[in-house]
Structure 1
Amino acid sequence: MTIEDQTQEPQQRCGYVAIVGRPNVGKSTLLNKILGQKISITCRKPQTTRHQIIGVKTEGDVQAVYVDTPGLHLNKEKALNRFMNKAASSALEGVDVVVFIIDRTAWTEEEDFVLDKIKRSGIPTILAINKVDWLEDKESLLPFMQEISQKHDFVEMIPISAKTGRQVDVLEEKVESFLPESIHFYPEDQLTDRSSRFLSAEIVREKVMRSLGEEVPYQMTVMVERFKVIKGRIHIDAVIYVEKQGQKLILIGNKGGRIKQIGIDARQDMERLFDNQVVLKLWVKVKSGWSDDERALQSLGYFDQLD
């Protein structure tokens, strides 16, 4: 029997995929759709995602490690904004392919800002044109794609809907073609590198952002102080930090009604995620100026992955 006649063992493939774009274009929604489970919080408000979050998709011999990033944006006024841009930019280091998401046919200064970083990286990039199901003038899509193709040599331009899943499988197939032969980096049943404590804090933050309109969200963060299993139930104590006393009062609400509802909504999501009963306790505290204080950000867990 010749070497050619011998049955070849299938080669494992594995690689990193950065999901980038300006704020609020659907990066986290896309990651959750690909994984089939919610690990990255979503909200209609820009700058919902503040950290790099890894999502692992393993199918047979192929493992794609997606890196969801904060939206790259031009506002660098506060330390928190600088942190988010640094987290997003650092995701371009050492990845095998980039998925650059834009919102329909909107191209702004911030898209140019993101594209400039992509060009400097030299990494093969797929342009994912998201929310095409919301596009009023469907005929405008093809001329737009022709125009954008002049800006950069994208390896593919794919219209998708991250929310409904339209053409997400096509995007995944294209991503897979750039993954090198490699052993898998994570166990096949692992979905993320983030801890249950971190995911719990993010769930609370999402519920606060969805509850508060434009009132508080960008000067609010969450820290889980206790995550413990006691007699088969998960006990979680979380502190919501705001910058002003007035924000604390808004967050608590009339007779504590708002914070109570946030707790109910967060606990339900946690029980779905952990498949276990959860006892959740929330506190609201004032930490003045935390979002523009690098030492405070460090104490709240913000620079940990970037050191």
Structure 2
Amino acid sequence: MKSGFVALAGKPNVGKSSIVNAIVGKKILIVSDKPQTTRNRINVIHTTDDFQIIFVDTPGIHKPLYRLGEYMVKAAVSALKGVDLILTVVDAKEGVGKPERFVFDYVNQSKTKTIGVINKIDLVDAKKVEQIYNEMKNSLENCVNIVKTSAVRGEGIKELLDLIVENLEEGPQYYPEDMITDRPLSFMASEIIREKIFHHTYEEVPHSVAVIIEEIKERDNGVLYIRANIYVDRNSQKGIIIGHKGNMIKTIGQEARKEIEYLVGGKVFLDLHVKVKKDWRNKDFIILNEIGMRDDLKD
């Protein structure tokens, strides 16, 4: 058996989570068209008879504006250490500019072999893709190959998976074959709720949101009760998430509940509460600890 840890590196919103979901063939990681959707380092485990790949999905590497952003970048950079392979992902629409070279510098400093990935090729012409290909080839040290993909269409995904397996060594099976992530249900539930907030709220809301699961308990009737607090920066954001006559929070709750039910294979009662904690992204270490940002830096 071949096995190994494969980290994904790239600036926010290049499609890292979508690539992992496409490779494993199911939705494990939350996705959004808004930057910085992924906040934590998350391991997704893909096991077959021939290999086990542990994908280390990370926050986008960027120049942070808040303390939360600092933790996100540190979590991403620390994930590049000690892995067997790095997938360095570039958005074909954006090309290679200063933010991409910022990422390349961290990848090169890791001294780890990397596969370049040009994602979202369905959105640009072949000439633009070829230009990005050449820039990545000249900029990435220890680059074994560059693959062109469209995660949403599944293009180039098999080629990428084959190349990953080819560049891994023989090794042990680190996790049980039926395990798909090393994160607990509380984390996965909070991520699903946060994704639904991303999809349904205005631009100023998503990155001011933290979701903390306060309680998970199976009731006597077999229904799984989950109570979650949604924290925002301002009262206006609270109003947006609750919506007119509570319609927005109802929609968020219904969609999140269905996805959590699919995850656990049973009925769920989702109890959502919206609370205001001013400037929590800079000052509230309790929330930062609860959502796991500081925990990701321990190693």
Q: TM-score range by the shorter chain?
A: over 0.9
In the alignment, the residues of structure 1 paired with residue 136 and residue 211 of structure 2 have an alpha-carbon distance, to the nearest angstrom, of: 39
Contact 1:54 1:65 in 2 (8 A): yes
Contact 1:35 1:191 in 2 (8 A): no
Q: CA deviation at 1:139?
A: 3.1
Structure 1 residues 248 and 147: CA distance shift in structure 2, 3 A? closer
Task: Report the residue type matching 1:240 in the other structure.
Answer: I
Give a deviation string over 1:84-116, Cα, whole Å, max 9, x none. Answer: 001100110110010011111611211111100
In the alignment, the residues of structure 2 paired with residue 108 and residue 269 of structure 1 have an alpha-carbon distance, to the nearest angstrom, of: 37
SS, match of residue 282 in structure 1: strand
In the alignment, the residues of structure 2 paired with residue 294 and residue 90 of structure 1 have an alpha-carbon distance, to the nearest angstrom, of: 23
Counterpart of 1:13? 2
Give percent identity, aligned residues only.
40
Q: CA deviation at 1:295?
A: 1.8
Counterpart of 2:100? 111
Counterpart of 1:89? 77
In the alignment, the residues of structure 1 paired with residue 225 and residue 284 of structure 2 have an alpha-carbon distance, to the nearest angstrom, of: 30
Counterpart of 1:6? none
| Correspondences of 1:44-123 after superposition (within 5 Å) | 44-74=33-63, 76-104=64-92, 106-123=95-112
| Correspondences of 1:116-155 after superposition (within 5 Å) | 116-135=105-124, 137-153=125-141, 154-155=143-144
Give a deviation string over 1:149-201, Cα, whole Å, max 9, x none. Answer: 22224210110111121111111111112222221110011000011110000
In the alignment, the residues of structure 1 paired with residue 71 and residue 28 of structure 2 have an alpha-carbon distance, to the nearest angstrom, of: 21
Which of 222, 225, 228 is the aligned partner of 2:211?
222
Matched, 1:279 2:269: yes
Counterpart of 1:4? none
Q: CA deviation at 1:146?
A: 2.5
Q: CA deviation at 1:142?
A: 2.4
Give a deviation string over 1:238-278, Cα, whole Å, max 9, x none. Answer: 11001112211121111111111110111111112222111
Q: Which moves more between the two structures, 79-88 or 226-235?
A: 226-235
Contact 1:201 1:224 in 2 (8 A): yes
Structure 1 residues 246 and 126: CA distance shift in structure 2, 3 A? same
In the alignment, the residues of structure 2 paired with residue 237 and residue 103 of structure 1 have an alpha-carbon distance, to the nearest angstrom, of: 37
Matched, 1:306 2:297: yes
Give a deviation string over 1:54-94, Cα, whole Å, max 9, x none. Answer: 100111031010000000002x2211000100110011011
| Correspondences of 1:159-174 after superposition (within 5 Å) | 159-174=148-163
Mark the structure with the bigger radius of gyration.
1
Q: Which moves more between the two structures, 208-217 or 20-29?
A: 208-217
Counterpart of 1:186? 175
Q: CA deviation at 1:134?
A: 1.4
Task: Report the residue type matching 2:73 in the other structure.
Answer: N
Q: Which moves more between the two structures, 21-30 or 220-229?
A: 220-229
In the alignment, the residues of structure 2 paired with residue 179 and residue 149 of structure 1 have an alpha-carbon distance, to the nearest angstrom, of: 21
Contact 2:189 2:260 in 1 (8 A): yes
Q: CA deviation at 1:299?
A: 4.0
In the alignment, the residues of structure 1 paired with residue 158 and residue 243 of structure 2 have an alpha-carbon distance, to the nearest angstrom, of: 43
Unaligned runs of 5+ in 2: none
SS, match of residue 96 in structure 2: coil
Unaligned runs of 5+ in 1: 1-11
SS, match of residue 280 in structure 1: strand
SS, match of residue 139 in structure 2: coil
Contact 1:101 1:130 in 2 (8 A): yes
Structure 1 residues 253 and 59: CA distance shift in structure 2, 3 A? same
Task: Report the residue type matching 1:127 in the other structure.
Answer: G
Which of 273, 295, 301 is the aligned partner of 2:285?
295
Matched, 1:256 2:246: yes
Normalization by structure 2: what TM-score?
Answer: 0.95
Aligned length: 294
Contact 1:243 1:290 in 2 (8 A): yes
Normalization by structure 1: what TM-score?
Answer: 0.92
SS, match of residue 161 in structure 2: helix
Q: CA RMSD in A?
A: 1.4
Task: Report the residue type matching 1:298 in the other structure.
Answer: N
SS, match of residue 163 in structure 1: coil
In the alignment, the residues of structure 2 paired with residue 228 and residue 301 of structure 1 have an alpha-carbon distance, to the nearest angstrom, of: 21
